[in-house]
Chains A and B, each alone.
Chain A
Amino acid sequence: MPQMNNVQADWPLYEVFVRGKRGLNHVHVGSLHAADDRMALTHARDLYTRRNEGVSIWVVRSSEITASTPDEKDPFFAPSGDKVYRHPTFYDIPADVPHI
């Protein structure tokens, strides 16, 4: 007999990602609670795609996501801030050079 007493009645939180149509990336649309992965998918379909908003859904437990802080001032993103030479506009090309 499995131990039932400590079964959590509050279902865990899942984050939902939807591919709007073929050719697009999955985009985060929100979250929902579900008892397991399968239920999370069907709930996501009912909640986030009632009007053909998606052709594919990903769900993942919120607790499984590792995130940076979204703040743009985060020093985490500093390494990309000072590398202007990664952008095409950094390079001066004479105006008479075609196709570049």
Chain B
Amino acid sequence: MTTAAAEPAAPPDPLQQHFDDTIARDHRVEPRDWMPEGYRRTLVRQIAQHAHSEIIGMQPEGDWITRAPSLRRKAILFAKVQDEAGHGLYLYSAAETLGADRADLTRRLIEGRQKYSSIFNYPADTFADVGVIGWFVDGAAICNQVPLCRSSYGPYARAMVRVCKEESFHQRQGYELLLTMMRGTEGQRAMVQNAVDRWWWPSLMMFGPPDGDSPNSAQSTAWKIKRHSNDELRQRFVDMTVPQAERLGVTLPDPELRWNEERGSHDFGTPDWTELQRVISGDGPRNAERVSRRRAAHEEGTWVREAAAAHAAKQAERREEAATSRSVACPR
């Protein structure tokens, strides 16, 4: 017997080892695999927040469906908002593969115990906002979501593939709407610029706090849930959007925005992080309204869910009775 230091290290837990190998080899983790509790918890939180964002995200634009200026725009907006509902459902479905309960997730949202993207707490004041939301918000969502198509958790990555395919329509319809308005009257052009001014900074905040201030990022990156840092994705979004703004003929409201030849990227100003904190913690322009509306929709739909369940139970009972009486009538 020598010193304690010479004792062999405890053998690695084979389950943990297998999980680590799966991640290291860039393979996907699937629902019934063993996974560390922290990995499961992080994913449920992230996927639930993502799902809630899609569902709450129906509200700012949904308000414009009845006021769309033409049947074409109305049909497009309808399809888009329906897609957001679909995206929310793909994501709830992925969260459920981790053992989350759907009714519980909804409860957490309407009780304010789980969050959603801060961006949806801003109002959509004019029809130009519909265009800018498609261009900026869905554009930022694409930057965030494309790398998530390679996320280490299989069902999340697959949901993201479906979402990204559809998101491209969302961004393009928004930009096309704005191009149309920019070809219109002076008033319409001013409306577009006004919407751009209001949505630019909140859109940059969608990528989350700066890297130095993002406590969960390192672990999520190690688990390959997250593939790029908040600041990297923000930069990508800025570089992508600047030439689109030029083509459209609008000014992005940032005096520090300029091309940096050396970096091959744009330099830009710092978003107001205290505003982000304020909106996340519940004090944004529309937080209370968004959640109370979701709650009302859920509560007012209770009787429908119960009636459908009662109908299904009755039908099942009848089928059973019919089967019993048949087997009595002709015994074998």
User: Which residues of A line the B interface, CB within 8 A?
Assistant: 2, 4, 7-11, 13, 29-33, 35-36, 39, 46-47, 50-51, 67, 69-71, 73
B108 within 8 A of A: no
Within 8 A of A (CB), among B79-101: 79, 82-83, 86, 89-90, 93-94, 96-97
Identity of the chain B residue whose Cβ is nearest the Cβ of A13 in the assembled complex: B96
Smallest CB-CB A-B distances: 9 pairs: A35-B308, A36-B312, A35-B312, A70-B30, A30-B93, A31-B93, A7-B310, A10-B103, A7-B309
B246 within 8 A of A: no
Among A2, A11, A69, which residue has its beta carbon within 8 angstroms of that of B32? A69
Identity of the chain B residue whose Cβ is nearest the Cβ of A39 in the assembled complex: B308
Among A2, A31, A73, which residue has its beta carbon within 8 angstroms of that of B18? A73
Identity of the chain A residue whose Cβ is nearest the Cβ of B18 in the assembled complex: A73
Among B33, B79, B306, B315, which residue has its beta carbon within 8 angstroms of that of A36? B315
Chain B 23-37 per-residue mask, 1 if CB under 8 angstroms from chain A, else 0: 000000011111000
Whether A67 lies near B32 (C-beta < 8 A) is yes
User: Which residues of B line the A interface, CB within 8 A?
Assistant: 18, 30-34, 79, 82-83, 86, 89-90, 93-94, 96-97, 102-103, 155, 158-159, 162, 166, 302, 305-306, 308-317
Residues of A within 8 A of B89 (CB): 32, 47
A-B pairs with beta carbons under 8 A, tally: 69
What is the bound-complex CA distance between A69 and B30, given in angstroms? 9
What is the bound-complex CA distance between A36 and B310, given in angstroms? 10
Whether A31 lies near B310 (C-beta < 8 A) is no
Whether A47 lies near B306 (C-beta < 8 A) is no
Residues of B within 8 A of A39 (CB): 308, 312
What is the bound-complex CA distance between A51 and B30, given in angstroms? 27
Known: A50-B82, A69-B33. A11 touches B305 (CB 8 A): yes
Whether A30 lies near B103 (C-beta < 8 A) is no
Give me 18 other A-B pairs in contact (C-beta within 8 A), A2-B317, A30-B159, A32-B89 excluded.
A2-B313, A7-B309, A9-B309, A10-B103, A29-B162, A30-B94, A31-B93, A31-B97, A32-B93, A36-B311, A36-B312, A36-B315, A47-B86, A70-B30, A70-B31, A70-B32, A71-B30, A71-B33
Whether B96 lies near A9 (C-beta < 8 A) is no
Distance from A75 Cβ to chain B, minimum over Cβ atoms (Å): 13
What is the bound-complex CA distance between A11 and B83, given in angstroms? 22
